[in-house]
Amino acid sequence: MRRHQKYKADNTEVWIGTVTVHPLVGCELVGPTEGAIVNIVTPSRTVDQFNARVQTLCDAYHLRIVRLEGQEPIRQRFPDLDMSKEMEVLANEVRGTNQIRFTTFHKYPLDSENEAEV
């Protein structure tokens, strides 16, 4: 089996993307004066499916997507599978499942130009 095959199953691949989020009312992941940037990993067949899954996750956690970028199969982001241990663990956890997982939230303070909707 080729190395990339372990991240593919039935035309579904593990995808990754970077999302910038701001909190909405009820959010418990970031404070009302914070934004965050986080990588999201989930099985998908297309960029549209990936985007929809990210939106579902953000809705569930009361997060507003400010920017979503870099959506691609994880094998494209890491062609030699040279990824961090955290990313490798997440990719293996979601492979062959319907899970959506995110990495560490990198928080930053919001200012008057990019305030949250809380």
44 within a domain of the structure (yes/no):
yes
106 secondary structure, DSSP code: E
Beta-carbon contacts of 1 under 8 Å, excluding residues fewer than 6 positions away, are none
Alpha helices in 22-82 (DSSP H): 47-60, 74-77
Task: List, for residues 43-56, the tens digit of each pLDDT value.
Answer: 999 999 999 999 99
- If we measure between CA atoms, which residue out of 75, 65, 102, 85 comes closest to residue 12? 75
116 within a domain of the structure (yes/no):
no
Name the average pLDDT for the chain.
Answer: 86
88 within a domain of the structure (yes/no):
yes
pTM equals 0.82
Number of domains in the chain: 1
- If we measure between CA atoms, which residue out of 59, 54, 67, 53 comes closest to residue 24? 59
30 within a domain of the structure (yes/no):
yes
118 within a domain of the structure (yes/no):
no
Question: What residue numbers bound the domain in which 99 lies?
Answer: 3-109
31 within a domain of the structure (yes/no):
yes
34 within a domain of the structure (yes/no):
yes
114 within a domain of the structure (yes/no):
no
Instruction: Tell me the CB-side half-sphere exposure of residue 117, using CA atoms within 13 A.
Output: 8
Task: List, for residues 17-33, the tens digit of each pLDDT value.
Answer: 999 999 999 999 999 99
